[in-house]
Amino acid sequence: MAAYLIVYETITDPSKFSLYVKSVDPVITRRGGRLVASGPPDVVEGEFPLEQALVFEWPTHQAASDFWHSEEYTEIKKLREGAAVIHAIIIGGIHLG
């Protein structure tokens, strides 16, 4: 069943952050993930202190978790240090019907 990696971010150094994006995008694709939504959220209740939300779809929760905790991604994450404030969660999809 599909799972979703949801990332909330505020980019503080666009130049540095672009290096991170260039490095991480191919890894996400290679590991079975794909970006399915992104942009500034339309906050309809409560507060959302970060600028943007991204949703990545993965074939399974395990695949998303394996990506996030992989040695390869651990190294790439270093590229975004000081370039963004990030919060991330993984949630499982549901099967209706």
pLDDT tens, position by position, 22-78 = 999 999 999 999 999 999 988 899 988 889 999 999 999 999 999 999 999 999 999
pLDDT surpassing 80 at residue 91:
yes
Predicted TM-score (pTM) of the model is: 0.90
Q: What is the pLDDT of residue 96?
A: 67
| Domains, the chain, ordered by start | 3-42+49-92 (3.30.70.100)
Taking the C-alpha atoms of residue 25 and residue 34, their distance in angstroms, rounded to an integer, is 9
- Of 19, 13, 3, 25, give the one whose Cα is nearest residue 88: 3
Q: Is the pLDDT of residue 97 over 70?
A: no
Q: In angstroms, rounded to a whole number, what is the distance separating the alpha carbons of residues 27 and 40?
A: 24
Residue 62's SS3 state is helix
Given a cut of 70, whether residue 80 has pLDDT beyond it is yes
Mean pLDDT for 1-17 is: 95
Specify which residues 84 forms β-bridges with. Answer: 11
